[in-house]
Structure 1
Amino acid sequence: MREIAAGLAEWRAAGLRFATATVVSTWRSAPRPPGAAMAVAETGEVLGSVSGGCVEAAVYELARTVLETGSPVLETYGVADDDAFAVGLTCGGTIEVLVQPDTDLPDHVLSAVREGRPAATASMLECGDGLGRRLHVPADEVLEGFDRVVADQAAGMLAAGTTGVVALGAEARRVFVQSFAPPPRMIVFGAIDFAAAVSRIGKFLGYHVTVCDARPVFTTPRRFPDADEVVVRWPHDYLAATEVDARTVLCVLTHDPKFDIPLLTAALRSPARYIGAMGSRATHRDRMRRLRDAGVPEAALARLSSPIGLDLGARTPEETAVSVAAEIVASAWGGSGRPLTELEAPIHR
């Protein structure tokens, strides 16, 4: 919902009613992940997508019905080979979509989503719990019983930045938790032309991007207009002083030992999800030798992606940024980096 939150706020400010349709679960090759959202205003205007176009028309009509009745609906869209085109999901997947009226989506939750502040919603998927009833985290009231269990689960998923359906309580009642954690961080070390391209594609992928270098003449906001922050500081000092978590990616583009070795020694002790370092094969061999001399264990060295990026034959900074981004995405989702035409595995894991 984050990508349509600004539009929803405009509708709310204009006094328009709307219904939101959210993908709560998927099977096989579904086109959009859980959390993908589409909204329909009472004027008929549409924001977002739940299937990349496959079943949008059907979901649109369902949202119009929810606007009329005020009652949430849980619907499953799936196909068999014989009726793929009739149903719409020609990719062969199945999605479960929850459509809710906007009446229980408070302004403070919508504002938090828009502004990148941590928030989560938990929607009941069982009729006995009030299908579509939403709880919010942080809660604005004291919750008891099953609602307290749901809120605790949602708080834990928010801390981890995860979204999905969970079964809770003695009866394993299904609840869809959508967490709106702050964007993950990408920290790019080295104020070079490649860093400008990497920061641009990092922003496109939804990261909060920081560019850091110790050289003030090169490390300026004008050179890195797409970065959220531009920091002039020795890289290892900045890394020691800033927050790094299991969603953070670190791109070391300096390929200079006086920067790289103290920085990577610290980075490889951090919980960062991805650590990549630019350089030639010779630079890589020298870097590994220096890191071993600095006492970095082999298990930590195995976390380092060096030379950084996938083999795309990239030449320009922009092409290299695509290579780096491709490796980051592949590492996040377990992709092989091979052409899909060579594989029989599911496209969407």
Structure 2
Amino acid sequence: MLDIAADLARWCAEGRSFAVATVVAVDGSAPRGPGAALAVDADGAVLGGVSGGCVEGEAYRLCREVLETGRPARERFSPRPVPADRGDDAAPLPPGFEPLDSLAPALTCGGTIEVAVLPHPADDPRRGALATALAEVSTEADPDTTVAGALALVRVAEGPGPLRGGVMTVRRDGGYTGGLGGGAALDRRVAAEAAARLDLGRTGPVTVPLPPIPPPPAGALPAGASEGPCAGTVTVLVECRTPPPRLLVFGAVDFAAALARVGRFLGMRVTVCDTRPALTTRARFPDAHEVVVDRPERLLAAEAAAGRLDRRTAVCVLGHDPAFDVPVLREALRLPVGYVGAMGSRRTHRDRLRRLTEVGLRPGELARLRSPIGLDLGARTPEETALSIAAEIVALRRGGTGGPLTDAVGPIHRGAPPPAAPTAGSGAPGSGRATGRPAPGRPGDRSRPLSPGTPGPARAAGGRPGR
């Protein structure tokens, strides 16, 4: 629901009644993951989507039905065939959503999704808490926010009546705002679980034991809920809003400009750094969020100390000059970042491994290095090379093979979690790479060597002061 949170906050401010259908579970291949949401107000206006079009019509109908009855609903959509004639007793789909073939409403991609639909009437006593939470998660993060500024939106997906409509926001340290209505002990337990998911950046359902709940005050229950204590479990949906993943590009070369464009397109926060003021300018790197003139290893150490790097961070060293590469790679390979790659030929890579060994890196640390950088796409131009680098970053983060889907078997959408934080002396989890073994890539030596120049920090044109 995070992608429509700002619009829902506006609906709350305008006093609209609405219902929200949210994907709470996915099995197999599905076009949208947990947290995808479709909202419908009392006038039939629509926000968002749950399936990329496969079952939007049925989700829309469920939202309208829930708005009328005030009772939550839950529906499971699978790839089963559905007769074109839905029967005389079936509720008709709304105009504009009639199925084009006999498979609607059902998924055509082979997977299954579960959708929970909750009403949010304008007179709901919990409406204020919902509005506050929506406003909090829809506020754009400060560009210089640290990783600790991440936030999770937690909503009850399935549970006893008194908890339906419960909502809270959780910070990485376990602190929270709002509550689920089941008492402080339940809120603390859910906040701890949500903080753990937030640390991984993973949206998804969490089920926790439910302690006895005292009867709520009169008039505080959502429509259709029953009073009295309850026990069992409650399932909440944890949606993580984290700062954009970082892409740190070292080396002010034309490949860096292309990679900055691709990184920004992928939603990453891009920093380009080099020591040469004449080359490290905003005019040469308009797609970078930050252009910094500084020693790369110094910038990297400062970003790590400020808490702005995490396991989603990608570090790309495009200089293949030992005086430039070795210090920053020595720093990067000892940090808990998710990706470290370096440009250069295989001969350059072998020499680089020797130099990194001489400055004290251990085999497990060296095994994390992706070099020659990128996947083997046969790339030649800076743009093609940037695509191959970005593809390798995505494949490593999502657990992909980098091979063609035509030859693959199994689900297309794996839903793999981000890679676990590597530790000093160990290779990146799941990398399966031996020390000194380069990843498949293109011929190297496609950019001129860099000279480190004067190490003093300076302000790049249009950029941020160096650190």
TM over 0.5: same fold? yes
Give the aligned residue type for 1:169. P
> Residues 47, 196 of structure 1: CA spacing in aligned structure 2 closer, same or farther, 3 A cutoff?
farther
- Match in the other structure for 1:207: 268
Deviates more, 1:263-272 or 1:81-90: 81-90
Note the alpha carbon deviations across 1:226-275, whole angstroms, 9 max, x for none.
Answer: 22222111100001111322121111112221111000011000000111
Kindly indicate whether the alpha-carbon contact (under 8 Å) linking 1:113 and 1:180 is maintained by their aligned counterparts in 2.
no
Distance in structure 2 (CA, Å) of the matches to 1:191 and 1:17: 52
Q: Which residue of 2 aligns with 1:110?
A: 135
Which residue in the other structure is 1:185 paired with? Answer: 246
Q: Which moved more, 1:230-239 or 1:112-121?
A: 112-121
Alignment deviations for residues 3-31 of structure 1 (CA, whole Å, 9 cap, x no partner): 33444445455554443332221001111
Are the structure 2 counterparts of residues 15 and 223 from structure 1 closer, same or farther at C-alpha, using a change threshold of 3 Å?
farther
1:166–1:190 CA distance, 2 compared to 1 (3 A): same
Q: Is the CA contact (8 Å cut-off) linking 2:272 and 2:291 kept in structure 1?
A: yes
Q: Secondary structure at the match of 2:207?
A: strand
TM-superposition CA deviations, 1:123-172 (whole Å, max 9, x none): 22333153343222253358612222112222232233221112212644
Call closer, same or farther: CA 1:87–1:250 in 2, change over 3 Å.
Answer: same
Whether the 8 Å contact between 2:5 and 2:134 is mirrored in structure 1 is no
* Alpha-carbon separation, structure 2, partners of 1:90 and 1:52: 11
Aligned to 2:206: 166
Q: Distance in 1 between matches of 2:248 and 2:137?
A: 24
Contact 1:159-1:181 within 8 A present in 2 as well: no
RCO higher in structure (CA 8 A, sep ≥6): 2
1:254-273 matched pairs, under 5 angstroms? 254-273=319-338
Q: Tell me the alpha carbon deviations over residues 158-209 of structure 1, each in whole angstroms, 9 at most, x when there is no partner.
A: 2332211122126443222112122221111112221122122212222222
User: What is the distance in 2 between the residues matched to 1:265 and 1:314?
Assistant: 27
Match of 1:86 in 2: 104
Distance 1:251 1:69, change over 3 A: farther
- Structure 1 pair 149–180 and aligned structure 2 pair: CA distance change class (3 A): same
**Would the aligned equivalents of 1:199 and 1:226 in 2 still touch at CA under 8 Å?**
yes
CA distance in structure 2 between the partners assigned to 1:20 and 1:82 by the alignment: 24
Once residues 242 and 74 of structure 1 are traced to their aligned partners in structure 2, the CA distance between those partners, rounded to angstroms, is: 45
Q: Larger deviation: 307-316 or 259-268?
A: 307-316
Tell me which residue corresponds to 1:122. Answer: 154
For these two proteins, the number of residue pairs brought into alignment is 349
Give the residue type in structure 2 aligned to 1:146.
L
Q: Indicate the residue corresponding to 2:166 in structure 1.
A: 133
What is the aligned partner in structure 2 of residue 46 from structure 1? Answer: 46
Task: Choose 310-319 or 79-88, whichever is displaced more.
Answer: 79-88
Amino-acid identity (%)? 54
Query: Contact (CA 8 Å) 1:100, 1:132: kept in 2 or not?
Result: yes
Closer, same or farther in 2 for the Cα pair 1:126/1:17, shift >3 Å?
Answer: closer
Partner of 1:221: 282
CA distance in 2, matches of 1:190, 1:68: 59
Give the aligned partner of residue 64 of structure 1. 64
SS at match of 1:210: strand
Normalized per residue, the structure richer in helix is 1
CA distance in structure 1 between the aligned counterparts of 2:245 and 2:160, rounded to whole angstroms:
36
Instruction: Kindly report which structure 2 residues correspond to 1:14-53, keeping only aligned pairs within 5 A, or say none.
Output: 14-53=14-53
Deviation at 1:119, TM superposition (A): 2.1
Match of 2:387 among 317, 322, 332: 322
Q: Please report how far the alpha carbon of residue 82 of structure 1 lies from its aligned counterpart in structure 2 after TM superposition.
A: 7.0
Of the three residues 116, 134, 138, the one matched with 1:98 is 116
Looking at structure 2, the residues matched to 300 and 49 of structure 1 have their Cα atoms a distance apart, in angstroms, of 43
Query: Offset at 1:98?
Result: 2.3
Task: Name the stretch that deviates more: 333-342 or 106-115.
Answer: 106-115
1:331 is aligned to 396
Give 2:310's aligned amino acid.
Answer: D
Q: Is the 8 A contact 2:250 2:296 kept in 1?
A: yes
Q: Secondary structure of 1:240's match?
A: helix
Amino acid paired to 2:187: D
Q: Which residue of 1 aligns with 2:408?
A: 343
Residues 81-134 of structure 1, C-alpha deviations (whole Å, 9 max, x = no match):
677813320111111122334535224543433413532222223331533432
Q: 1:173 to 1:112 in 2, by over 3 A?
A: closer
Q: Which runs of 5+ in 1 are unaligned?
A: none
- Alpha carbons of structure 1 residues 189 and 27: separation in structure 2 relative to 1, 3 Å: same
Distance in structure 1 (CA, Å) of the matches to 2:137 and 2:234? 27
Name the TM-score, length of structure 1 as normaliser: 0.91
1:144 aligns with 2:205: no
Distance in 1, Cα, partners of 2:81 & 2:365: 47
Aligned-partner Cα distance in 1 for 2:259–2:13: 37
1:297 pairs, out of 362, 370, 382, with: 362
* Bigger Rg, which one: 2
For the aligned residues, what is the CA RMSD?
Answer: 2.4
Q: Retained in 1: the 8 A contact 2:160–2:234?
A: no
User: Which of 343, 350, 359 is the equivalent residue of 1:285?
Assistant: 350
Q: What amino acid is aligned across from residue 31 of structure 1 in structure 2?
A: P
Aligned pair in 2 of structure 1 residues 203, 4: CA closer, same or farther (>3 Å)?
A: farther
Is the 1:124–1:175 Cα contact (8 Å) retained in structure 2?
A: yes
Question: What residue is the counterpart of 2:123 in the other structure?
Answer: none
CA distance in structure 2 between the aligned counterparts of 1:16 and 1:221, rounded to whole angstroms: 45
* Deviates further, 266-275 or 65-74: 65-74
The 2-side partners of 1:161 and 1:13 are apart by 29
SS for the counterpart of 1:106 is helix
Shift of 1:323: 0.8
What is the DSSP-based 3-state SS (H/G/I as helix, E as strand, rest coil) of the residue aligned with 2:325? helix
Q: Unpaired segments of 5 or more residues in structure 2?
A: 84-101, 121-126, 142-148, 211-231, 415-467
